[in-house]
Structure 1
Amino acid sequence: MSAFKPFFSLLLIALACLGCREQSNEKLPKAEHPEIAADSQGIRSDSPEAPVEKDTTSFVLTEDNAIDFFFNYQKDLKVNQVRLQTSMGSFTVQLYDNVPYHKSNFIYLTRKGYFNNTMFHRVVPNFIIQGGNADNQQTAQKRKEIGRYLLPPDTRKGHKHHRGTISMPSSEIDNPHMLASPFEFFIVVTDPGSYHLDGNYTAFGKVIEGMDVVDRINQVPIDDGEWPMKNIYIEKAEVLE
């Protein structure tokens, strides 16, 4: 019996680790028309942690103040383009002016440096690439400092999920109204588009330069959880002022 105890303990540890990985890669079942995985904020443990920069400001976004904040933030917002430098090249997105909350949220997070050192953590061939999460403590810390909030869907502005569209996944947190997770985004690569997503997710911009980079990311080898076999980083996101 004494020899069995160490083996049993190791077995329990292995099963626990497997369960953690499956949870962090949670996604909806595959269907005839692929769906968008919710933002699970999952963390894997196979990447080195980057140093965490402490936010010296005390302002934190919440469910109570986020809408008012972004309503005021977008009033004088003159910019609408963001360049994302990835480990596979750079591309530029142009954000739609008539989707003000999602546009201003993306620009705000870019200016806060949130997307720097996050990953394209989900790739579905011939469908989408999804980014804005990472398996390091730095990203979790940045989310905590920025705040915990969701954005209301804004799907009636006439924007369809054409190829190159940037859109927002919903959150998995008690979310019957498909509220958008503010920290993640996905880009459609389907030609001519993935129109079954229309009405369910908020399209808030489009790729205007570097779609070949998006296509290359979509073609990388992936594991069973749709994570790229080699991490693809957003090294830097910057607003084009």
Structure 2
Amino acid sequence: MRIRFSILLVALLLAGTGCEDKKSKAKDVQVQSTEKKVDSTEAQKTKAQNEKLKTKAGSIIESQAELIPFLTEYGKKNQETRVRILTEYGDIEIELFKDTPLHRANFILLVKQNYFEKTMIHRNSPNFVVQGGNSDGYETPKKRQHIGNYLIPNESSANHPHVRGAFSAAKYLEQNISDASSPFEWFIVQPERGAHHLDGEHTVYGRVTKGMNVVDEINKVAVDDNEWPIKNIYINVELMN
């Protein structure tokens, strides 16, 4: 009788342990499910924010004073680092650097606001750079007005020199002693020797990871006296992740 009672007690204990495991597993699944919902909610909030910015009355960035806090916060919510430049010659894939946070956040903002749609490679300097982000159409100035009138503080670093394939920010030359960047225009360094005389003066905030052959082909296109391609080379930019 004692033996049967002992066996029954052990069986009950084992059965109890099994139930606890199932509850624990169920709890883990519930936690994971909740975490996914949180992630999904954050993504939805970020998407909603970007959609709201598209229809915002006035400029998205209303003054130079609010630029850094705005881009800092925007960069936290929009952490993409890979983009693709679409051209008729092929695609150019770019990795944006995380240690140039203001430039990265600004570029992602422009992509999500569809700024680059119908812009062009508006400067082509043979054996030097291919430059984009402008156009001769009336839509581009309207888009710039909606996004804002500001300059991005220089974030140049010795870690990111102007080697071949460097993705760097253009700048306005007049009254720009701080070497601040244009928020809208960028260029890609084409020659093997690089363009190291630009180091420190311009902010390299990304690099070409695929498509330098496309850059080389574009760099062969004939230009006028202002280095504007005689043939219009339209572009767009999309996110890769």
Q: Do the structures match in fold with TM over 0.5? A: yes
| Alpha-carbon distance, 1:87 to partner | 2.4
Residue 175 of structure 2 corresponds to which residue in structure 1? 174
Higher helix share: 2
Residue aligned with 2:65, SS? coil
The whole-number CA distance in structure 2 between the counterparts of 1:112 and 1:219 is 31
Residue 240 of structure 1 corresponds to which residue in structure 2? 240
Aligned ranges 1:180-219 → 2 under 5 Å: 180-219=181-220
Deviation readout 1:128-185 (Å, 9 max, x if unpaired): 0110000010001000111111000011251111100000011245322111000000
CA contact (8 A) 1:82 1:94 kept: yes
CA contact (8 A) 1:122 1:131 kept: yes
CA contact (8 A) 1:150 1:180 kept: yes
Residue 151 of structure 1 corresponds to which residue in structure 2? 152
Residue 137 of structure 2 corresponds to which residue in structure 1? 136
Deviation readout 1:48-104 (Å, 9 max, x if unpaired): xxxxxxx52125212121111111111243320000111222111000111100011
The whole-number CA distance in structure 2 between the counterparts of 1:85 and 1:133 is 15
- 1:67 equivalent to 2:68? Answer yes
Structure 2 unaligned segments of length 5 or more: list them: 1-53
Residue aligned with 1:120, SS? strand
Deviation readout 1:99-125 (Å, 9 max, x if unpaired): 100011111101110011101111110
Residue 227 of structure 1 corresponds to which residue in structure 2? 228
TM-score (normalizing by structure 1): 0.74
Residue aligned with 1:60, SS? coil
Residue aligned with 1:84, SS? strand
Q: Which runs of 4+ in 1 moved over 3 A?
A: none
Q: Percent identity between the aligned chains? A: 42
- 1:57 equivalent to 2:53? Answer no
Alpha-carbon RMSD across the aligned residues, in angstroms, is 1.5
Residue 109 of structure 2 corresponds to which residue in structure 1? 108
Residue 84 of structure 1 corresponds to which residue in structure 2? 85
CA contact (8 A) 1:98 1:157 kept: no
CA contact (8 A) 2:78 2:108 kept: no
Aligned ranges 1:25-36 → 2 under 5 Å: none
TM-score (normalizing by structure 2): 0.74
The number of residues matched between the two structures is 187
What amino acid maps onto 2:206 in structure 1?
Answer: G
